[in-house]
Chain A
């Protein structure tokens, strides 16, 4: 009894919302295992994993920004068009003004910031609903893309392509692996272990019960095991390939934004605004500034995603960005965000995006046509959200939560979970 309780409380987090997130991770693992069996081991082969990240990093980057927009209680329909608009401008800037590619990337981010400021202004300061502002933006920037590009496809230079289809260089001794990828994996392992001990120390200092040692060890072993497995896979691809550059950009963004949304006051304000904007405002949250920030941030990330896609495609084309907003929004909702705002996590959205990505990839490996893939993805989205809504109506957070209910203490658990980006809680913030 007590061991199960410990495990439930500490490994998957004690709260129901964490159990729900565990449910999503479980689904992801189940899908991966399913396709691994169905495709005869192709799914987890290194070249396929690399391709998976290359193909989806731009959607996952969009999902980060979209999560913050949705948590704040808005929506952004314009991301695909902004990505396309930035893509064509950046491609043209390199082709016609021969801007060096690092400058062109900064130029692209600046365009994103300007567009974001424009949309943020209408949403935050004029009070036009984001749905309308971004619907207008969707038309505006799609038209802008066609206007500037004349609907032509414009190629981008080799150096620029690194951010979309580049790999880490091969350095050091010939170990049979990509050494830099191994180093990254090692760094991740060290970080996980360091954090676990740090969290235990914090809890002791706060006079809270640290999790039993065996749970910490189990948790670390699972995490380190996954990281070791992944880095070996990514490092053992064809010579010249490694963990992709676009994947590194994604991981860096996930870590940074997870920290921001969990551990900073400004980040928690987004949750406060989405949960109850009146209450947040009365508590001193600068409503306009938060709304302006999330819209602007989304546009900058959309620009980055657009550039990564252009780099991967080696050219900017008129079809870029079509339907991306829907993929990003689907990832966020599958990842457990609430339609009404205030609830959701970055890591949840990434897991949601990965569920879609693995589903897509696995079905393609099986040779299922796009028509049927779309039908399946549509049903998965509907079921994932419907399950969530249904469970909330029943007063439970999730099936996992309800199954494990009997193991739980009757008194509420004190909210002393250690800060842990891998297992963020999805609760609404109470502004302090």
Chain B
């Protein structure tokens, strides 16, 4: 008897639950999405804007994050600025972008940690009606990326290559010059662009025999430093000095950025050699000091302020329902489509023009005096 009561009770409970289930009504949020993202009608002026940046390995990203937080607030938006963690960068960034979509961000700005591993999240953002802007690093293999904003990175490479030649000529009027090549992390889309830009200038000189890569390591796979890690560059330079420069003089090193440049200089100093002409990029504080002290030869000023300002301009244009301004609709193919791009011009900085180049930078200009 008790059993029977129990059984009927159980069945009753299930039936009740099933009833509530159907009574809850069918509320599938959102439509097939894609249509929403298609035409721009603008959105509320106080909407949430998500910004997903890589881990805090370079001061550039930390600065960019602060600028975004303040800039978006000034423009009246709510902002959510996130950095990927130090060790699990890709998974963190994927989760952060998904969280931003869940929170209903209207525009998501992404500085990708790995250019090719975000397509699922970008697609989800697009399906939810958010616009996606790739910041500084192009996101590849996705049809859902809307805009790309960056400095002209090929030009960066060209400026580095040219500065390397000029610097060596100033020290020693006649060649041939011995140089070594370094390039950035192979999973960063920009690393190859910098390298190709630099080789665009250096290759003719190498072919003429005026410039010699003494170690013969000219392939991008040999020159790459995984993860832009300083210790990687230092170790590679140590090995190059041992293997190649026992009794040869090293005249110049092509380094893709400041962190690597300083690591290379540390290695050369450690070996007790004369510091050659070393290029850089990013205008990091320590490197500007190094340039003023006559160690690192040059860096590139890609004023993060301008890049963030330009990105926020794009967000504002999207908010108003306009098409953001772009100046390159041909060169940046991400493997699926050509992405509308706004390119900002970089500036080469040496000791000679440092004071002028950093005049507007509150942190760097005191260093140049």
Name A residues whose Cβ lies closer than 8 Å to a Cβ of B: 42, 45-48, 51, 54-55, 146, 150-155, 161, 164-165, 175-177, 189, 193, 196, 213-214, 216-217, 220-221, 224-225, 228, 232, 236-240, 309, 312-315, 317-320, 322-324, 327, 360-361, 364-365, 367, 369-371, 373-374
**Cβ-defined contact, A153 with B187, below 8 A:** yes
Say which residue of A154, A214, A236, A240 sits within 8 Å of B27 (CB atoms). Answer: A236
**Cβ-defined contact, A47 with B102, below 8 A:** yes
**Cβ-defined contact, B29 with A47, below 8 A:** yes
**Cβ-defined contact, A238 with B29, below 8 A:** yes
**Cβ-defined contact, A45 with B28, below 8 A:** no
Given contacts A239-B30, A369-B82, contact A314 B120 (CB under 8 A): yes
**Cβ-defined contact, B10 with A220, below 8 A:** yes
Listed A/B pairs (25) with beta-carbon separation below 8 Å: A45-B29, A47-B101, A47-B128, A146-B226, A152-B186, A152-B187, A153-B117, A176-B27, A177-B28, A193-B14, A214-B6, A225-B17, A228-B18, A236-B29, A309-B91, A313-B94, A314-B116, A314-B120, A315-B119, A317-B187, A319-B89, A322-B87, A322-B89, A360-B95, A373-B85
A306–chain B nearest beta-carbon distance, Å: 12
B99: Cβ under 8 A from any A Cβ:
yes
**Cβ-defined contact, A153 with B33, below 8 A:** no
Q: Which residues of A sit under 8 angstroms from B44, Cβ to Cβ?
A: none
Q: Which residues of B sit under 8 angstroms from A214, Cβ to Cβ?
A: 6, 9
**Cβ-defined contact, A213 with B2, below 8 A:** yes
**Cβ-defined contact, A217 with B10, below 8 A:** yes
> Which residues in window 67-125 of B have CB below 8 A to A?
80, 82-85, 87-92, 94-96, 98-99, 101-103, 113-120
B314–chain A nearest beta-carbon distance, Å: 22
In the bound complex, what is the Cα–Cα distance between A408 and B62 (angstroms)? 57
Q: Which residues of A sit under 8 angstroms from B39, Cβ to Cβ?
A: none
**Cβ-defined contact, A42 with B103, below 8 A:** yes
Q: Which residues of B sit under 8 angstroms from A327, Cβ to Cβ?
A: 88
A6–chain B nearest beta-carbon distance, Å: 14
B221: Cβ under 8 A from any A Cβ:
yes
**Cβ-defined contact, A228 with B94, below 8 A:** no
Given contacts A155-B141, A216-B6, A314-B141, contact A228 B21 (CB under 8 A): yes
Q: Which residues of A sit under 8 angstroms from B18, Cβ to Cβ?
A: 228
Say which residue of B3, B13, B117 sits within 8 Å of A313 (CB atoms). Answer: B117
Say which residue of A152, A238, A312, A320 sits within 8 Å of B33 (CB atoms). Answer: A238
Mark contacts of B1-36 with chain A using CB atoms, 8 A cut-off: 1 yes-contact digit, 0 otherwise.
011011001100110011011001111111111000
**In the complex, how many residue pairs between chain A and chain B have their CB atoms under 8 Å apart?**
172
Q: Which residues of B sit under 8 angstroms from A370, Cβ to Cβ?
A: 55, 82-85, 92, 96
Given contacts A151-B187, A228-B21, contact A238 B119 (CB under 8 A): no
B348: Cβ under 8 A from any A Cβ:
no
Name which residue of chain B comes closest to A214, CB basis: B6
**Cβ-defined contact, A371 with B83, below 8 A:** yes
In the bound complex, what is the Cα–Cα distance between A360 and B93 (angstroms)? 12
Q: Which residues of A sit under 8 angstroms from B3, Cβ to Cβ?
A: 213
**Cβ-defined contact, B120 with A238, below 8 A:** no
B224: Cβ under 8 A from any A Cβ:
yes
**Cβ-defined contact, A361 with B99, below 8 A:** yes
**Cβ-defined contact, A238 with B127, below 8 A:** yes
Q: Which residues of A sit under 8 angstroms from B9, Cβ to Cβ?
A: 213-214, 217
**Cβ-defined contact, B28 with A236, below 8 A:** yes
Q: Which residues of A sit under 8 angstroms from B14, Cβ to Cβ?
A: 189, 193, 220, 224
**Cβ-defined contact, A312 with B113, below 8 A:** no
B27–chain A nearest beta-carbon distance, Å: 6
Name which residue of chain A comes closest to B226, CB basis: A151
Given contacts A367-B80, A367-B82, contact A153 B115 (CB under 8 A): yes
Name which residue of chain B comes closest to A218, CB basis: B13
**Cβ-defined contact, A228 with B17, below 8 A:** yes
**Cβ-defined contact, A314 with B119, below 8 A:** yes
In the bound complex, what is the Cα–Cα distance between A369 and B24 (angstroms)? 36
Q: Which residues of B sit under 8 angstroms from A369, Cβ to Cβ?
A: 82-83
